[in-house]
Amino acid sequence: MLATAAGDPLVSASAVPPDAGTICAIVPVLNEAARIEACLETLIAQPQALASILVVDGGSHDGTPEIVRTFAARDARVRLIDASPVPPDWNGKAWNLSCGLAASDPAADYVLTIDADVRVAPNFTASLLAHAQGAYLDAFSAAPLLEVSKGLEEALHAAFLATLVYRFGLPGSVAKRASDVQANGQVFLAKRAVLVESAAFRAARSSRCDDVTIARHLVRAGAHVGFFEGGAIASVRMYDGALACWTNWPRSLTLRDESTSLPELLSALADVAFVQALPLAAVIATLVRRGDLTSFFFRTNLMLAVARLGVLAGTRRAYRTTTDAYWLAALADVPVALRLVQSAFARERTWRGRRLVAEGRAA
């Protein structure tokens, strides 16, 4: 965390910089009827530097294609691409992204991948292009402002989010090694030529953390890849309630793919367990048992527990609003750590009812 504390924020721009280039947006969808309309409303409000909006459908049956067609009738930039059926050796999102890249205009300077639950600000396109130019980046993720329901989801979400901070530090830097990569697929901008030359989407075909695998693949190919706070230009409601958060986020939150070695994984999980989750429990247990408050064990865990509150204070800005329940996140750290371990070693996973391809098993 100290090593990443001096990171740069994403530049918020009011106008598209001269000669900044054009963007092709790819929106991968599967049964997103409840979310896609609000996303497309904010995208079609962007300036013409967002030259095309490709909604790539992996086989929706909830009316998503019909909604997209209404937007295509309103704005010529919107186009629906039917990417079904998904090949058996690909996971759905990576396949949708690959199909979108193949269908994108070769003249586009950048490709933006954006999830259907993201809503963007009027200066979204201008800010992405300004940051790409100013930071001399080949690709970067912009973490949207988070919206969560009050109460249990608020505490769980904050505890899960903290596991990223303890393992990878703070946003605002460029990854020097693939193992340092932080990434999300909610908002990800990359030079189109770099994506095509590196075949990064294909590299993620069997990944359960496709966004991380794509970013790591680009770093190995020599690209400059960053991760920044983007709350000023986009927001997202990831899950509808605590149960959905608990069930679904650990699948990608482990940041484990086929390039992650077992020692790296165990080291990351140890950080979460011994630095984030257990110190507060150890302090409470010592106080309840009236143990030695002058011992090295107690003082070390007390220091880490206080630091945990500091992390909570720092991650508060990642959320649009919070209530008192947010500050109870530290009490959820132990179950969250156990859930992360369980997810990291799960052999089979599903998403929206589809079984995911296991890492390394793609043809």
pLDDT band at residue 208 using 50, 70 and 90 as cut-offs: confident
Backbone angles phi, psi at 31, to 5 degrees: 55, 60
Please give the pLDDT value at position 6.
Answer: 61
Q: CA 43 to CA 234: how far, in whole Å? A: 11
Q: What pTM, to 2 d.p., does this model score?
A: 0.91
- pLDDT tens string 243-268: 999 998 998 888 777 778 888 889 98
| Residue 362 pLDDT greater than 80, yes or no | no
pLDDT in tens, 122-141: 999 999 999 998 878 999 99
Domain boundaries 23-150+167-239, corresponding CATH code: 3.90.550.10
Token pair 């500050």 is found at: 327
pLDDT of residue 355: 67
Each residue's pLDDT tens digit, 278-294: 999 999 999 999 999 99
Torsion of the alpha carbons at 264, 306, 329 and 173, rounded to the nearest 10:
-50
pLDDT of 272 higher than 90: yes
Give the model confidence (pLDDT) of 287-317 as tens digits: 999 999 999 999 999 999 999 999 999 999 9
pLDDT recorded at residue 353:
59
Please state the rounded mean pLDDT for residues 195-223: 93
- Give mean pLDDT, residues 180-185: 87
What pLDDT score was predicted for residue 177? Answer: 87
Cα–Cα distance for residue pair 9/30, rounded to 1 Å: 32
Chain segment 20-47, per-residue pLDDT in tens: 899 999 999 999 999 999 999 999 999 9
Q: Where are the alpha helices (DSSP H) in 45-191?
A: 64-74, 92-103, 124-134, 152-168
d(CA 129, CA 147): 25
Under the banding of pLDDT at 50, 70 and 90, the label for residue 351 is low
Please say whether the beta carbons of 203 and 217 come within 8 A: yes
* pLDDT greater than 90 at residue 360: no
* pLDDT over threshold 60, residue 361: no
User: What distance in Å separates the CA atoms of residue 347 and residue 337, rounded to the nearest whole number?
Assistant: 18
E strand or H helix at 84, and its extent? none
Give residue 359's pLDDT. Answer: 56
**CA Rg value for the chain:** 21
pLDDT in tens, 62-114: 999 999 999 999 999 999 999 999 999 999 999 999 999 999 999 999 999 99
Q: What is the pLDDT of residue 245?
A: 95
pLDDT in tens, 137-167: 999 999 999 999 999 999 999 999 999 999 8
Query: Which range, of 6-10, 177-181, 185-189, averages the lowest pLDDT?
Result: 6-10
In this prediction, residue 197 has a pLDDT band, given cuts at 50, 70 and 90, of: very high
Decide: 79 and 27 in contact? Cβ < 8 Å.
Answer: no
Nearest Cα to Cα of residue 185 among 27, 68, 58: 27
C-beta separation of 86 from 201 below 8 A:
no
Quote the tokens at residue 331.
């009490």
Q: pLDDT-based confidence at 54, cuts 50/70/90?
A: very high
Specify the length of the chain in residues.
Answer: 363
Residue 347 DSSP code: S
Which residue would you say has higher pLDDT here, 361 or 151? 151
